[in-house]
Structure 1
C-alpha cells in the first residue's frame, strides 16, 4: 500500500508528538509537572543567547508579548532569572538558572530513554537507518528553535 505525502507529514508530526507527550508525562512523574515544550524551546534559546523578550520572540517566531508571558512563567517557576547586564547596567539580561538546566538535562535523559524504547520496538538497526534517512532528508542545517511560532503561523 502506497501512502501519500500528506500521510508522511502526519506520521512525522505524529512521531514528534508521541515523543514530546511521553517526555512531558515522564518529566511530570519526576516532579516537573509544570514543564511544557515551549518552556524547553525558550530555555534553550535563552541559554543560546536570547537575553531579552524581543530576542526570544525573534528566535521563537512569537510576539514580544508572548515571549514576555513565557519569560514570566519561567521566572515564576524558577527556571530563568533576569539579572543586570554586565556590559550595560541599564539593560537586563535573561539567564537560565541551575534548576532550568536541571530540567533540560532531565528532558534530554528522558528523550534518550524514549529513543531506546523505540529501538527496542523496531530494532536498533532500523532506528539508526531511520535517523540516517531523516538526517539526509532534513539536511545539515541546525534544527531551529522557532517550531512553536512556525506551527502557529497564520498564513491567511
Structure 2
C-alpha cells in the first residue's frame, strides 16, 4: 500500500520557525554592526540579559545560560575584551568577582530592542499587522508558560 506524504509535512514547521528566527537575528546583527556593534553575536544577547543590571558571577551566569562555568568564562573573556562586560570586585564579598555590563553592553541591548521593534514593523508591513499579531498570539498559545528562557545557549548546545 502506497503512502502519500502530507502536503505540509510536520518537520517543516520547526524548520520554518527556525528560519523566521534566523532571519530576524541575522537582520538584527547586520543592523547592530552598522550601528557600531559588529562584535555582538546571537549568544551575546543572551549573555548580556543574563548578566543584567546588577551583575553576576561566572558560575551563576553559566547556570542561567545552561552552560558550564568554563564556557561562561570564555564568553565573558571575549565580551570583556571587546568592551561589553567588565569584571569587578563584589562589594558584598571580597572573595568574589562579579561580571558587570558596561555602558557599551547596555547600549547594545538598547539598540537591539529598538531594532527588533523596527523588524517587527517590517514584518507587519509585509504580512499585515493583524497577521503578525495573530502569529504572536498563536505562538504564545502553543509555547510553554515560561517561553522566555535564557538557557537557550545550553539547550542548543546539547
Q: TM-score, normalised by structure 2?
A: 0.91
The 10-residue stretch of structure 1 (138-147 or 6-15) with the greater mean CA deviation from structure 2: 138-147
RMSD of aligned residue pairs (Cα, Å): 1.5
Cross-structure match for 1:41: 46
The answer for unaligned runs of 5 or more in structure 1 is none
Verify: 1:96 aligned to 2:83, yes or no. no
Aligned-partner SS, 1:5: coil
Query: In the alignment, is the contact (CA less than 8 A) between 1:50 and 1:56 conserved in 2?
Result: no
Aligned-partner SS, 1:3: coil
Give runs of aligned pairs for residues 100-139 of structure 1, distance below 5 A.
100-139=105-144
- Displacement of 1:49 after TM fit? 5.8
Cross-structure match for 2:3: none
Q: Deviations over 1:94-141 (max 9, x none)?
A: 111111110000011111111000000100011001000101111432
Q: Deviations over 1:52-81 (max 9, x none)?
A: 221111111222111111001111111111
Query: In the alignment, is the contact (CA less than 8 A) between 2:87 and 2:97 conserved in 1?
Result: yes
- Aligned mates of 2:55, 2:150 — CA distance in 1: 11
- Aligned mates of 1:139, 1:90 — CA distance in 2: 38
- Displacement of 1:145 after TM fit? 0.8
- Displacement of 1:48 after TM fit? 6.4
Query: In the alignment, is the contact (CA less than 8 A) between 1:60 and 1:146 conserved in 2?
Result: yes
Give runs of aligned pairs for residues 1-80 of structure 1, distance below 5 A.
2-47=7-52, 51-80=56-85
Distance 1:7-1:142 versus aligned 2 partners, 3 A rule: closer
Query: In the alignment, is the contact (CA less than 8 A) between 2:48 and 2:101 conserved in 1?
Result: yes
